[in-house]
Structure 1
Amino acid sequence: MHVTEAKAEHWPQIFPFFAAIVAEGETYSYPDGLSSDAARALWMPGPPSRTVVAIDGDQVLGSALTGPNRPGRGSHVATASFMVDPAVRGRGVGRALGVHVLDRARDAGYRGIQFNAVVETNTRAVALWQSLGFEIVGTVPGAFRSASHGFVGLHVMYLDLTTDERSTT
């Protein structure tokens, strides 16, 4: 598996798992039923954002979107979103994407990376980000309407990138 820049030709493989993950109603607040074009505009917006894919052979296993968390005076802090094809969960795809994004954010000179909305019941994601050094800096109670849990909190998670530590696989 390797992580590389997403290209237009990757979108037909990304969209099915994007749509499936949104339809699950457990991790993303995107509207249900987005068209492929509308979803692509959200997930592959172009600079200053960057979209990457994790690929094994010709198969796209997952994708990440990253860029500045805020414009202007907040642009020194990155943010990112991750989606892994449900068919390949548990194979280290999320970790590979996370390590790639963190290393590139450091290389790009970001001072930190902030995840604005990690659903608290998404315990696998919370554990992954914590294993990569993220801290939960706050939780907004009831800010996400989970399809199976009802109203649950959204964690804000942060990692200081000013240290020289590199991510580990």
Structure 2
Amino acid sequence: MPIREAGADDWPRIWPFWHRIVAAGETYTWDPDTTEEAARALWMSPAKRVYVVEDETGDLVASAYLTPNYGGPGADIANAGFMVDPDRGGRGFGRALAGHILAAATAQGYRAMVFNAVVETNPAVQLWTSFGFTILGTVPDAFAHPRHGRVGLHIMYKAL
């Protein structure tokens, strides 16, 4: 499946699933009412390298960004965000994109990757542990999940 760096013209195809995922309020700590303009600034920031996945028909089905998690002397620790169109889940797009991002992070000289706030009920926790991420800790009751109530946020880490 084609995975490539995103261009500015990809945003209109990312926004529909980005909005749907964030508005659901189940996996990201961003405001569910984030406007399209604010979402674009968050996801497509010039400080981030953004990637997209297209399916066999050319539909854009997933996106991720790669960025330093810290600045200065800690800038060699990566952070990333991932979204797969909910209508396209379970088809391997997320796993393929995860492998691509981890390889890109390594190629770009990052020493490790950290996720600062993975909702503990997010199915992606299993994906990340399958890639060798460990849960360093969990901030208890830090996320108001619309179905599960208060749940924890994991801090996850992997050396590259």
Instruction: Indicate whether the TM-score tops 0.5.
Output: yes
> Could you say what secondary structure the match of 2:18 adopts?
helix
Aligned to 2:100: 100
> Could you say what secondary structure the match of 1:133 adopts?
coil
How far did 1:32 drift? 2.1
Write the mapping of 1:143-158 to structure 2, written as runs, cut at 5 A.
Answer: 143-158=142-157
Aligned to 1:32: 32
Aligned to 1:159: 158
Aligned to 1:165: none
| TM-align CA RMSD | 0.9
Whole-angstrom distance in 2 between the partners of 1:31 and 1:115: 18
> Could you say what secondary structure the match of 2:135 adopts?
strand
Whole-angstrom distance in 1 between the partners of 2:37 and 2:58: 22
- Contact kept, 8 Å, 2:29 with 2:117, in 1: the verdict is no
Whole-angstrom distance in 2 between the partners of 1:3 and 1:9: 16
Whole-angstrom distance in 2 between the partners of 1:34 and 1:115: 21
Aligned to 1:119: 119
* 1:11-46 CA distance string (max 9 Å, x none): 111101011001111001111222211110000001
Aligned to 1:55: 54
Whole-angstrom distance in 2 between the partners of 1:53 and 1:119: 23
Q: TM-score, normalised by structure 2?
A: 0.96
Give the fraction of aligned pairs with identical amino acids, expressed as a percent.
52
Whole-angstrom distance in 2 between the partners of 1:116 and 1:32: 19
Q: TM-score, normalised by structure 1?
A: 0.91
Q: Which runs of no fewer than 5 residues in structure 2 stay unpaired?
A: none
Whole-angstrom distance in 1 between the partners of 2:35 and 2:155: 28
How far did 1:156 drift? 0.6
How far did 1:129 drift? 0.4
Aligned to 1:166: none
> What is the number of residues matched between the two proteins?
159
> Could you say what secondary structure the match of 1:54 adopts?
strand
> Could you say what secondary structure the match of 2:94 adopts?
helix
State the 4+ residue runs in structure 1 displaced beyond 4 angstroms. none
